[in-house]
Structures are given as structure tokens and as C-alpha cells.
Chains A and B, each alone.
Chain A
Amino acid sequence: MATTTQNNDIRRVLSVIVTNEDGVLSRISGLFAGRGYNIDSLTVAPVPKTDFSRLTIVTCGNEKVLEQIVKQLHKLIPTYKVIESGEFVEKEMALVKIPLDEDFNGLDAMLKAYNGTIANSGADFIVVMVADNAKRIDNFLQAINKYNPVDIVRSGSVAMDV
């Protein structure tokens, strides 16, 4: 899944399967930092019923850089697989905290449009959550601004190849 941004950098989602062992995350983040590659987001979780973990990395760079990133990831000893192309289902989650004294007019419709719900509601705030692709999350967060959110948390993308 690749889309081009303004400066000719290509956004790319990589799904990396690695041995689930100590230090593997720092090998990967160290690789990106040491070679000057970008990480837009990174998520990690164990792959059920195996001794692997899956990292979903959203990165960007030109073709040559992206090719190197994939090769360098492969070169790490604990890397089992790097899935870089083909179709991904990509989803990201965002949590948004909004003060209760806001006028919630139209919020329901907005949440509906982005697969959102109200996740929690307390004495002073409500917390809404949405799950969608990263681009749409961007749009949602733009739109939700009108309710003056006091906190926003994004999960980073997770992806599954289909």
C-alpha cells in the first residue's frame, strides 16, 4: 500500500514478523534511528500461538530508501518475514477526550461516519473512540476539533495482509 506525499516520499506500511525475544524492538528502532529512516508509527504485539511478534511500521522515503529499509530489516537476525506489498487492511484507533460542557450537536452523526462510539463518560468528560484507516483518522481528528478536545491518543496503524 503506497501513496505519494508532496516531497516525493512514499508512505509505506510494513508488516514485520520477528522472533518474540528481548531487545528485538530496540534492534528495529535502532536500525531506523541509526540509518536515518523515518518511523511515522510503530505497533508491536505477539502473534497468537507462535513465538513471533508482529510489528506494523508506517514509514516513508523514496523508492531506494524503502528498498534499503526492507533489506536492512531482513538482515536483522530475528527477522522472519517482511511483508511490504500486496493488499493490506489497515486500521488505526484514536481516543478523544471532550469536556462535557461542549455542545454535542452533530457528534453522533460524526461518530457514525467514522465507525466511532462513546467509550467512556465521566463527571467532566466523555471519551470517544474511532477505528479507521490512518488517512480517515486524520480527517476525523480535524473534524472533532470543533468540540475542543482536551486530549487525543492515536494507536498507530495495524495492518493485515489479505
Chain B
Amino acid sequence: MDLNGSQMVIEALRREDVKTVFGYPGGAIMNVYDEIYKQNDFEHILTRHEQAAIHAADGYARASGDVGVAFVTSGPGFTNAVTGLANAYIDSIPMVVISGQVPITMIGTDAFQEIDAVGISRPCVKHNYLVKDVKDLPRILKEAFYIARSGRPGPVHVDIPKDVTAQSAKFVYTESITMKTYKPTYKGNKRQIKKVVDAIADADKPILYIGGGAVNSNASELVREFAKVTGIPAVETLMARGVLGDDNPLLLGMVGMHGCYSANMGMSEADLMIAFGPRFDDRVTGKLSEFAKHAKVIHVDIDPSSIGKIVDIDYPIVGDLKNVLTDMLPLVKEKIDSKKYQSWRDLLKRYDEIHPLGYSDDKGNIKPQWVIARVGELLGDKAIISTDVGQHQMWTAQFYPFSRPRQFVTSGGLGTMGFGFPAAIGVKKAKPEKISINISGDGSILMNIQELMTAYESKIPVINIILNNGYLGMVRQWQTFFYDKRYASTDLSGAQPDFVKLAESFGGLGFRVETKEEFDEALEKAVKSNVVCMIDVNVDRLEDVLPMVPAGGTLYNMILEHKG
């Protein structure tokens, strides 16, 4: 079958069973858009900024586990997309992003809207391609999807010159694919797995350190079983929230800079750390020389380069966590007696009683934490929660009762303000039966505010809850603690939009909330409205995210109290 380059793109998406794509057109990608117009296999959502298109595809991928797809044009279209690529790359999110490029005959001439796109995206993607010959395009598209979703997932960028999108060639799209130079390891080494089980059986104070890999591997059922069988207390990273489920008695909570006291103490005092797919981010480890000082470390990860990168590993296992746990569980059941760790569990429980995660509620002011907990009470599992970046993000991670993985969509590694709203748009397209909520800040929400138009036009009823503290709150918090309260460029209270009118002017609904009753009412109306909403909640301005491990500090030295 002969197809032109644009038709090849459409056909490849059809074969990959893509149902929704996000994008923004322009000169170099117009041939492809012309074919998008002619087809009915997938829906194209026009965002109002390319960054938002990539974040929406990213949110779609996080909520569904499928590959997210986005289109942008050359030059500024592509450069606008770069933050989105970097964001997905560092969080290991499977995506295929297709950009237009100037015709091959013009590459290298500084043509109109020409930029070295693959040169720019190279450090922000798992792999990229500049398509030089239309004959290669089917293979490249096949590889792009395969690479994006296999091994450690990640975004793949395909840059297609305009002339290639018009030229024709034979379309051969194989069912399966093998690549000579890319063969991820899925099976863990059996002997090593045995050794690991013995090490666990020998330990007195083991701790389970669960990372985003557990989500990507779709291994949460097995991780839950592992925890249950062994009785080993567990911590989750930001990326792993929901893996064990909020009501799991073994879950101490989130670990790291804003992790809870018992989780961080557990990490510090353990004699064996069992790491399932985390990447030892500095926001988790704190000062490395003090991290897991008394512990032997087991690390299961599908990416060999992740193992031993930050922390020396005593028991490395390269493999897909799901496979490794499938092999490990029978041995675990045979050899490990959960009673052995009772006193360790008791100790950690005591830690939790001494310094539980909490906040002091207030009758007058709405506390931001209250809002999150309240959304959790009212919507619980019915909602998927995206966030922007800042204090509101950390409070969401701490206080929302996540009951399953993929229920929390947040920018972990890059910490991208502006991620939440477009991501929540992607989430809603992936899981239309769920309520898609973006918990945002008065700073972050303005970084992709134009997506109100997308959400309105494409009937994607995202509910934005703005925890409005009139500050770039997270930066303000650091200024309070470490800069003698010199609030350089963080006070936003002097100039704020009227978020209600703003939402209305885009065709959505806006609510201004000053009291708890008003919040309940607004949320109820928003859920029923079926249109994009903004709930602007006036919250206590100077609340801090606690506990806090200062950057580079040790996990067991947490700041536990507000600095008045």
C-alpha cells in the first residue's frame, strides 16, 4: 500500500489504537493536519499553547498508562513543546510527539521557522528522529511507539520535514518489532532474587521504598501483596502515591523533603531498604552520606543506569518490577515470617503517634490542607487529582486519600508550574468517567490559563481548585525559613485577576470561596456543572508545608513547626 508521509502518520496512529491526540497546527505540519481533518479514527484536541498539548498528552498517559500523542509545528511550535518533553522524560512518561520541520531541501539554511529540533530535544527525550526519507517513516513511527512504552518508558520525538509529509512510499507496519540495539531486560536474575529474599529474611528492620517504577510497571497489586505477606512497613515517593492505597496499615506515608516523620525515620533507621522502582531523587534522600546509613540496599529497576547512580546498591536487580515480584513472591511466602518485624512496626507506629502528619484547623481561615482533605472526603476515588507545583502540590500529596495508582498526576522530577491544568485535560480525555480535578496555586494557574478555552471548546469539564494564598507560596516558605523573611518577588496579593470573571469570560464557571460551607457548595455545583470550572479558595496565607527537610539536610532532622 502506497501512502504519503501524512497518511502514514494517521495510519500508524490507527494501528497503535490511538484515540485522542493533542496539538497545535502551523505551516510545517499542515499536510498532516489535512489528513487529521479527513479521518475519524481519533479525536484531535486543539490546545491553546503547544506546552499545554504536550502536558495534556502527558496527563493522558499518566492516567491511562497508554502512550500520549501530540503534534506541533516547526520552530516556535516545537520550542514551546520542549518543557513538556523534559517534564515527561524525567518522570518516565510514554509519549510520542510529532513535530513539523522545514523541507529537507531547506534544512540548514536558517529558513523561516527552522530550528534544530532534534538537537534541542536530544537531552529531553528517550529517543528522537529526524525523518530524512519517507521510506523510513513507517519503521520510525513503529519504533517510536515501541521505544516510548517499553523498558523504562519515556517520550520519543519524531521531527518530519514538510516535503517528507507529502512524498509517497510503501507503507509497511509490522505487528511486532525487535531492534538490534535496544533490548530492555524484563526478567530479574533468579539467583539474585533468591539472595534478596534471604537478605529480607535476615533483616530486623526492613523498609519498603516504593517509587514511580511501581506505577509504570503496573505492579501495584503485587507490591500490595508483597507488603501484606511480609508485613514490612512502607514509604511512597511523590510519584508512587496510591500504589499501596491510603488505608493500607503498612503505609507510613510519603518520604522525603515533605515526607512524614515516621516515613523519614523509618528510612533512616532501617537495616534493609527494599527499593521498588524509585530513583533516589535528592528530594527524597537528603544528605547522601547520612541516607540509609545503617541499611543494606536492594534496588529493583528496569533501567540499569538508575541502579547505583546515586547510592551504592548491595543487591541490584535489573528487571520489570512486575516480573521480579512474580518470581519473588513464592519465595517470600515460603521464607519470611511477618511476625519478625513486629517490634519494628511498633516503633514506627510510635514515631507516627509522636509526630503525626497534620495541621491545626481554624474556624475563621480556610486552611489549604483542609480543602484537600475535604475534596478527598467528598470525592475520594471518584476523582483523579492533578496538581501544579508548589505548596498546594505537597499538601495534595500529603493529605489526599489516594486509593490507587494513576490517581495522582503531578510533575515530580521537573516540578513544572503550569503542568496541572493541561494535564487534567488529558486525564479527563483518558478517564471520562472520573472527575478530573486540578489543585493549583494562584501562581501556577496563570502559567497555562489559556487552556480554559480548550476545556470549554472541547467540552472537557476540568475543575480547577486554586488554593489562593496570594504568594508564590513554596518560594515564600523558603524565604521565611532561610532568607529572613525577605519576600523577594513572591507576594502576589497586590495584583490578582478576578478568577470568577476570568472563568466566565472563557465560557466556564467561577466560584469565589471564603468559608468552608461555600467550598462544599461550590464543589458540588462544579461537579454537577459539566463545564470547566475555577474555584478560587481564599486560604490562610502563611501556612507552611511541614515537616520539612531543608535541601541537603538529613532525613531524620525535620523541621516540624511553623516559623511564626
Binary per-residue interface labels of chain B (167-182) against chain A in the complex, 1 for a CB within 8 Å, 0 otherwise: 0000000000001111
From A19, A30, A64, A78, contact of B122 by CB (8 A) = A30
In the complex, residue of chain A having the shortest beta-carbon distance to the beta carbon of B306:
A71
From A34, A68, A77, contact of B182 by CB (8 A) = A77
- Residues of B with C-beta under 8 A to A26: 119, 122
- Residues of A with C-beta under 8 A to B130: 22-23
From B123, B132, B303, contact of A75 by CB (8 A) = B303
- Residues of B with C-beta under 8 A to A64: 308
Instruction: Name B's A-contacting residues (CB within 8 A).
Output: 118-119, 122-123, 126-127, 130, 132, 147, 179-182, 303-305, 308-309
Instruction: Indicate if the CB atoms of B118 and A23 lie closer than 8 Å.
Output: yes
Q: For the complex, is A80 an interface residue (Cβ under 8 Å from B)? A: yes
Instruction: Indicate if the CB atoms of A77 and B305 lie closer than 8 Å.
Output: no
- Residues of B with C-beta under 8 A to A23: 118, 122, 130
- Residues of B with C-beta under 8 A to A30: 122-123
Q: For the complex, is A85 an interface residue (Cβ under 8 Å from B)? A: no
The number of residues on chain A lying at the interface, defined by a beta carbon within 8 Å of a beta carbon of chain B, is 19
Q: For the complex, is A74 an interface residue (Cβ under 8 Å from B)? A: yes
Main secondary structure of the interface of A (DSSP, over half): helix
Q: Kindly state the separation between the CA atoms of A75 and B309 in the bound complex, as whole angstroms.
A: 13
In the complex, residue of chain B having the shortest beta-carbon distance to the beta carbon of A27:
B122
Q: Kindly state the separation between the CA atoms of A151 and B4 in the bound complex, as whole angstroms.
A: 54
Instruction: Name A's B-contacting residues (CB within 8 A).
Output: 18-19, 22-23, 26-27, 30, 34, 64, 67-68, 71-72, 74-75, 77-80
Known: A23-B118, A26-B119, A30-B123. A75 touches B181 (CB 8 A): no
Q: Kindly state the separation between the CA atoms of A74 and B118 in the bound complex, as whole angstroms.
A: 20
Instruction: Indicate if the CB atoms of B181 and A68 lie closer than 8 Å.
Output: no
Q: Kindly state the separation between the CA atoms of A79 and B475 in the bound complex, as whole angstroms.
A: 42
Q: Can you show 8 pairs from A to B with CB atoms below 8 A apart?
A: A30-B122, A67-B308, A71-B305, A74-B305, A75-B304, A77-B147, A77-B182, A78-B181
Q: Kindly state the separation between the CA atoms of A26 and B309 in the bound complex, as whole angstroms.
A: 23
Q: Kindly state the separation between the CA atoms of A30 and B119 in the bound complex, as whole angstroms.
A: 9
- Residues of A with C-beta under 8 A to B127: 77
- Residues of B with C-beta under 8 A to A79: 181
- Residues of B with C-beta under 8 A to A77: 126-127, 147, 179, 181-182
Q: Kindly state the separation between the CA atoms of A72 and B127 in the bound complex, as whole angstroms.
A: 13
Q: How far is the CB of A31 from chain B (nearest CB, A)?
A: 8
Instruction: Indicate if the CB atoms of B304 and A71 lie closer than 8 Å.
Output: yes
Q: Kindly state the separation between the CA atoms of A27 and B181 in the bound complex, as whole angstroms.
A: 15
With most chain A CB atoms within 10 A of its CB, the pick from B119, B130, B304 is B304
In the complex, residue of chain B having the shortest beta-carbon distance to the beta carbon of A68:
B309
- Residues of B with C-beta under 8 A to A67: 308
- Residues of A with C-beta under 8 A to B179: 77
- Residues of B with C-beta under 8 A to A78: 181
- Residues of A with C-beta under 8 A to B180: 19, 80
Q: Kindly state the separation between the CA atoms of A86 and B296 in the bound complex, as whole angstroms.
A: 30
Q: How far is the CB of A142 from chain B (nearest CB, A)?
A: 39
In the complex, residue of chain B having the shortest beta-carbon distance to the beta carbon of A23:
B118
Instruction: Indicate if the CB atoms of A75 and B122 lie closer than 8 Å.
Output: no
